[in-house]
Structure 1
Amino acid sequence: MKENWWKILASVLVIYSVWSGMLGSVPELPILHETIRNLYFHVPMWFTMVILYLISVIYSIKYLSSGNENHDLLAVECVNTGVVFGFLGLVTGMIWGNYTWGSPWPNDPKMNSAAISTLMYLAYLVLRNSLEEEQKRARISAVYNIFAFPVMIVLLFILPRLTDSLHPGNGGNPGFSSYDLDSRMRMVFYPACIGWILIGVWIATIQYRLRKLQNKQLN
């Protein structure tokens, strides 16, 4: 029970944020209206993705320094899970954009960068599957992963700020926290971010354990 406290916390926070996000009160804002509720789902997906990719990079570095196969397995499972959350971020963003901007893909720099980032990590998975020798595959994919993470950060958080963007917090647009993320929304938004990040880590650890069992059976 003591070891699983964070899993219980993750479940409680996600259930609370989903329930409150659907039924709780939100500010009455022009254009956004009820779609502002998507903030509780869209943004946590991206935060979870970034955290999982960060964990993956850490374990890729550990693998290169130690040669421990488990570090490589954990790195790839974090990427696998991160890609899923990345797709969820894209889908929720497209739904939101369709209601607020009139198009699911209005050629926004941030959305284009997010798509490129997702393709970049899909390429990482393709690279791993294209190499048969285990140690070579682990080393090359670890190096790729280490370089991919800072590129992803630039694409998602730096380039959109240097050009015009519809996204809040980019291209001169104020972020939600600076003008309409009131105390009611913060009480749901922050728990949602923490809860989904923990859920993402939980899923990655389950995938990691399954991958270890599969490798034992093959050996």
Structure 2
Amino acid sequence: METLKKHYGKILCMILLYYTIYAGFEGKVPRQPILNETVRNLYFHVTMWFSMIFLLGTSVYHSIKYLRSGDVQADLKSYAYVETGLVFAIMGLVTGSFWAKFTWGDWWTNDPKLNSVAVGLLIYLAYLLVRSSLPEEQQKARISSVYNIFAFVVFMVLIWILPRMTDSLHPGNGGNPGFNSMDLDNRMRMVFYPAIIGWTLLGFWIAGLRIRIKQLDQQIEENN
């Protein structure tokens, strides 16, 4: 029973993802012009972006915690959450590119939303470069924490605010409506919301594994 409680989140994650994948491909979806069957990508592309935001937001929490307390473990966790968040960002970008190909006719368009996402990812990739370029651990942790907070704020502006200020092909931006009550019917909601939870749990599961690996590496270095 104790083992079951310990792995409850992982079991729930696997159940929700199995349900998401099965219902995502086999469940009924509304027939929308242009989108047609590609609307199923909503369960993967959009939900992965939600997971990414939760992961990056958690990394900012740990960055702030490090700056306030100097706890090395907080910096380590912040780093792991950024790494995992970037994995989900790339998966979201890839699934979005496939969606664009079949709905807009091209893998990548010169769209404000897509370009903003690309700039945001470059900012986060620069975060990884900053960490790898600083040899002194305290300096690395301090500068990385400040940079991470800055990167998250800028990234949110790039993907949520700027695209809404101009014309955009992407749903929910520039006067182009996102999925509303007519598009996202109750059948899709029954898959969409569990999918967000499932992918988010997977992200935190992966981040937890990354944290454990980093902690072991830290212990090995200290022992040597």
What is the alpha-carbon distance in structure 2 between the residues aligned to residue 197 and residue 128 of structure 1?
A: 25
In the other structure, the counterpart of 1:13 is: 16
Identify which of 80, 100, 107 aligns with 1:97. Answer: 100
Secondary structure at the residue paired with 2:167?
Answer: coil
Secondary structure at the residue paired with 1:179?
Answer: coil
Identify which of 162, 167, 175 aligns with 2:170. Answer: 167
In the other structure, the counterpart of 1:200 is: 203
In the other structure, the counterpart of 1:210 is: 213
In the other structure, the counterpart of 1:134 is: 137
Identify which of 183, 190, 207 aligns with 2:193. Answer: 190
> Unaligned 5+ residue runs, structure 1?
none
Q: Which amino acid aligns with 1:50?
A: I
Q: CA deviation at 1:150?
A: 0.9
| Number of residue pairs matched by the alignment | 219
Q: CA deviation at 1:175?
A: 1.2
What is the alpha-carbon distance in structure 2 between the residues aligned to residue 146 and residue 174 of structure 1?
A: 30
Q: CA deviation at 1:179?
A: 3.1
Give the root-mean-square deviation of aligned CA atoms. 0.8
Percent identity between the two aligned chains: 58
Identify which of 135, 150, 157 aligns with 2:153. Answer: 150
Q: Which amino acid aligns with 1:96?
A: W
In the other structure, the counterpart of 2:27 is: 24
Q: CA deviation at 1:210?
A: 0.6
Q: Which amino acid aligns with 1:215?
A: Q
Task: Give TM-score scaled by structure 1 length.
Answer: 0.98
Q: Which amino acid aligns with 1:84?
A: V
What is the alpha-carbon distance in structure 1 between the residues aligned to residue 131 and residue 124 of structure 2?
A: 11
What is the alpha-carbon distance in structure 2 between the residues aligned to residue 111 and residue 179 of structure 1?
A: 25
Q: CA deviation at 1:77?
A: 0.4
Identify which of 69, 75, 80 aligns with 2:72. Answer: 69
What is the alpha-carbon distance in structure 2 between the residues aligned to residue 116 and residue 178 of structure 1?
A: 32
In the other structure, the counterpart of 1:36 is: 39
Matched, 1:4 2:7: yes
Matched, 1:80 2:83: yes
Secondary structure at the residue paired with 1:44?
Answer: helix
